[in-house]
Amino acid sequence: NAGVTQTPKFRVLKTGQSMTLLCAQDMNHEYMYWYRQDPGMGLRLIHYSVGEGTTAKGEVPDGYNVSRLKKQNFLLGLESAAPSQTSVYFCASSYSRLNTEAFFGQGTRLTVV
Amino acid sequence: AQKVTQAQTEISVVEKEDVTLDCVYETRDTTYYLFWYKQPPSGELVFLIRRNSFDEQNEISGRYSWNFQKSTSSFNFTITASQVVDSAVYFCALIDIFGKGTRLHILP
């Protein structure tokens, strides 16, 4: 049982480079989320998806894009990375948005230099 | 707007002491769910408990207990007889909105 898997686990980017973080879940969950975790800031929601082909903005969406072409995958893209995007990124999935717990991936530590 | 406040940034207690982590939330919804998650030093996030807005009964699971009070919009978490393994960051969440977390240090 893999649960939620994030790829890659670590990455260093130069300012202006682009990259995509991949999240895959094998629990047939409808809902998927991308969060960033920064010291003292807790977890902040970037984007989320309520099903295949649908996405919505969270609290801090600027500088990020997402896609959910397949139910099991949720991609987070950085088109032009900035040092302010240095963070730990967590993907999560849940059966429903309101009343079930989220299952989290192990995180991706991204450093933008 | 929905908001979760965990006013305690960091707490240190000596092993076997009891400790309470505070969580205050804001929402205009009448139906909502609250959660607690644990993030140990290894970094993963682990679900601890879910509570809906219609159930104000306290919950106990081993050394962990939760006190939900709708009147004060609080959902506090108590660890009884703390252990070093309880050292972690604890997050309170209102649906998918998280508080900033409380870092708990249990000193041997």
Residue B1 has what pLDDT? 82
Classified as helix, coil or strand, B71 is: helix
Mind telling me how many Å the CA of B86 is from chain A's nearest CA?
19
Is it the case that residue A3 has pLDDT exceeding 90?
yes
| Cross-chain CB nearest to B100 (options A40, A98, A107) | A40
Residue A88 has what pLDDT? 98
B95 and A97 Cβ atoms separated by less than 8 Å: yes
List, for residues B30-46, the tens digit of each pLDDT value: 999 999 999 999 999 99
Residue A40 has what pLDDT? 85
Contact (CB<8Å) B47/A98: no
Residue A1 has what pLDDT? 62
Is it the case that residue A97 has pLDDT exceeding 90?
no
| Cross-chain CB nearest to A104 (options B6, B31, B45) | B45
Residue B46 has what pLDDT? 94
A33 interfaces chain B, CB cutoff of 8 Å? yes
List, for residues A76-86, the tens digit of each pLDDT value: 999 999 999 99
Using pLDDT thresholds of 50, 70 and 90, give the confidence band for residue B8. very high
What does B39-61 look like in DSSP terms, one character per residue? E-TT---EEEEEEETT----EEE
Contact (CB<8Å) A42/B45: no
Using pLDDT thresholds of 50, 70 and 90, give the confidence band for residue B56. confident
Is it the case that residue A28 has pLDDT exceeding 70?
yes
Name chain A contacts of B32, Cβ cutoff 8 Å. Answer: 98
Q: Give the residue-averaged pLDDT of B82-86.
A: 97
Is it the case that residue A2 has pLDDT exceeding 90?
no
Read off φ and ψ for residue B84, nearest 5 degrees: -55, -35
Residue B66 has what pLDDT? 95
The C-alpha angle A41, B15, B98, rounded to 5 degrees, equals 20
